[in-house]
Amino acid sequence: MTTARKGARRGADIPADLLQALSLGQARSATLVEGLAVDQAQLLRAVFPALPAPVLAAAAEVCERGILQRMNGIGSLLFDALGSAGIAACSAHASDTVRGWACFMVGTQPGLDLAARLQAIRPLADDAHFGVREWAWMAVRPHLAAELDAAIAQLTVWTHEPSERLRRFACEALRPRGVWCAHIAALKQQPERGLPLLSPLHADASVYVQDSVANWLNDAAKNQPDWVRALCAQWLQAEAGAATRRICQRAMRSL
C-alpha cells in the first residue's frame, strides 16, 4: 500500500483540504488523529524539495512503517543529509510534524553527551504543541534509559523549572512503562530510583504534571504495588492538598 493510500486510510475522517494542508506543512494538527494522518513523504518533499533523490526514496520506504519508526527514520535521514542546520530549520517550522522531526534529529545526532542532548531537546520539550512535546521525550528516552542515574540527576533540576512542560518532561521521559516506547526494566523493579523526580512534583499545581506523576506511579504499580501504596500513604500524610490527593487517587486506579 502506498504512503498516500495509508495516509488516506488513517485520515479517512479528516476533510481532504485539511489533510492536504497538513501534508504540505501549511497547517498544524489539532488532534492525535490528524498528526498520525500526515503523509510524511509528501511533507518532506514540500519542506525540503532539494533533498537528493536517494534520500527521498529512503524516506518513502520509511513511511511504510509505524509512526515512531517513521519519525525516527526521517529524523535520521534528515540529520545525515543536513546536519545541525537541519535541526534549526525543522525546529523553526510551523508544522508540528516537522518540529517532531527535529526531536528525532536530536535523538539520533551522534557525539552528544547526555547533558548536551538534553540541552538540545529542551526548546522542543517546551514547545507549544502537545505533539512536539511527546516526540521530544520519545526521541531521547533511549539515551536517558542507557544512562539512568545520570539522567535522573540531570532531570531532577527540571522538576523545579517554571514551565509546567519541562517539569512534565522530567517525569514523563522516564516512566517505567510509558507509551509507544520500550519499558525501563530497572525502574519497573526498583521504582524508588525515580524518587528524585517524583518527590518534588508530588503536590504540583499543574494538572498536566499531576497526570504524568500519577501515570508514572500507575506504571510502577504493575510490578511494585506495595511500594506505590506506601509512597502514596506517606505523601498523603505529609501533604493532604488537592493536588496530592488527585495524584494518589489516579496512581492507584489499577490497584
Check whether 32 has a pLDDT greater than 70: yes
Check whether 225 has a pLDDT greater than 80: yes
**pLDDT, tens digit (0-9, with 9 covering 90-100), for 9-20:** 455 689 999 999
pLDDT of residue 11: 57
Q: Contact 109/117 with Cβ under 8 angstroms?
A: yes
Average pLDDT over residues 108-127: 97
Q: For residue 240, what pLDDT band results from cuts at 50, 70 and 90?
A: confident
pLDDT of residue 63: 94
Q: Contact 122/166 with Cβ under 8 angstroms?
A: yes
Average pLDDT over residues 122-131: 98
* Size of the chain, expressed as the number of residues it contains: 255
Check whether 97 has a pLDDT greater than 90: yes
Residue 129, number of CB atoms within 10 A of its CB? 18
Cα dihedral 183, 184, 190, 192 sign: negative
Residue 180, number of CB atoms within 10 A of its CB? 10
Q: Contact 60/3 with Cβ under 8 angstroms?
A: yes
Q: Contact 213/203 with Cβ under 8 angstroms?
A: no
For the residues of 45-102, what is the DSSP string, one character each? HHH-TTS-HHHHHHHHHHTTS-HHHHHHHHHHHHHHHHTHHHHHHHHT-S-HHHHHHH
Average pLDDT over residues 70-79: 97
Residues 6+ away with beta carbon under 8 Å from 195: none
Read off the amino acid at residue 171: C
Grid coordinates belonging to 133? 512535546
* Domain boundaries of the chain, sorted by first residue: 1-111, 171-255
Q: How far is CA 58 from CA 91, 96, 97, in A?
A: 22, 22, 18
For the chain, the C-alpha Rg in angstroms (whole number) is 19
524539495: which residue's cell?
Answer: 49
Sequence-distant contacts of 55-58: CB under 8 A, at least 24 apart? 55/80, 55/81
Check whether 21 has a pLDDT greater than 70: yes
Q: Contact 171/198 with Cβ under 8 angstroms?
A: yes
- Rounded to an integer, what distance in angstroms lies between the CA atom of residue 11 and that of residue 108? 28
Residues 6+ away with beta carbon under 8 Å from 48: 78, 82
- Rounded to an integer, what distance in angstroms lies between the CA atom of residue 89 and that of residue 108? 16
SS3 39: coil
